[in-house]
Amino acid sequence: MSNTDFNKKRVVIKLSGSNFNVTGADIKDSLMSYARMLIDVSDKYQPIVVTGGGITARQYIKIARGLGADEARLDNIGIEASRLNARLLVVALGNQAFPQVPRNLEDVAIANSSGKIVISGGLHPGQSTNATSALIAETVKAKKFINATDVDGIYDSDPKMNKNAKLFKKVTINECVKILGSENSMAGTYELLDLVALKVIERSGISTIVIRSDIKNIKKAIHSNKYHIGTEIVTNP
């Protein structure tokens, strides 16, 4: 199949900003590995990737907050950082990627119609890249939404703080709301899935899984209809 095959199933991948936190040759090798994986799966699927802002976004937001910026301006700084990460991945993909990073959902739809791999950062202030990813998945009618983050899935408590935290294999939307619903909505603090993302997943019935960001994990999640890694979010229990 070619990149202009419009019959491909679409899969949206939220790629954790932590993938862009390394420096020098490490980030080059990492990005090239992800690019090769995306090109490989694009034989059967059309990937639409949303990149997080990572440490760059957090550092700039922290500085700007100290300088007195309001939350809307801080959100825009985070969005621009995520778009910088997106541009790096576009470069790594070469002509396999749609050359422009979308700035709104209409841009996403146009990029998607090209049949090429689409790389996006954030889109709107006040909206996490997780919520953005869910909205993009809804817009392009994606078969799957894969949230590739820096933990193995959704736990009953923060696994970074509690070594005995329990990893869920499956959770309902309501359970997710209880577990994740109290998260901070300040710029630069979004984690996993916020309420907006969960509501979009619920109304659209998008098949969603939260996994650790790892090339093998992502490929397994794309190709398998039964998830043996991460946490599957069940919209119709």
Q: Which residues of 79-90 are buried (b: 16+ CB within 10 A; e: fewer)?
A: bebbbbbbbbbb
pLDDT band for 3, please (50, 70, 90 cuts): very low
Q: Using N-to-C axis directions, what is the helix angle for 71-93 and 54-66, rounded to 10°?
A: 150
Domains contained in the chain, CATH given: 9-234 (3.40.1160.10)
Average pLDDT, the chain: 88
Single-letter residue type at 76? N
Backbone phi and psi for residue 172, each to the nearest 5 degrees, phi listed first? -85, 165
What sign for the dihedral angle of Cα 121, 124, 130, 133? negative
Sheet of strand 144-149: strand arrangement:
118-120, 45-51, 9-15, 144-149, 207-212, 231-234, 170-172
Q: Read off the pLDDT of residues 153-207 as tens digits, 9 standing for 90 and up.
A: 988 887 878 888 899 999 999 888 887 755 544 444 446 788 889 999 999 999 9
- How confident is the model over 55-91, as pLDDT tens digits? 899 999 999 999 999 999 999 999 999 999 999 999 9
CB proximity list for 108: less than 8 A, separation 6 or greater? 48, 102, 118, 120, 123, 136, 139, 140
DSSP β-bridge partners for residue 170:
232
Q: Residue 106: pLDDT above 90?
A: yes
97, β-bridge pairs: 117
How do strand 118-120 and strand 45-51 relate by DSSP bridges? parallel
Neighbours of 143 (CB within 10 A): 17
Contact 210, 16 (CB under 8 A): no
Instruction: Check whether 19 has a pLDDT greater than 80.
Output: yes
Q: Are 117 and 3 in contact (CB under 8 A)?
A: yes
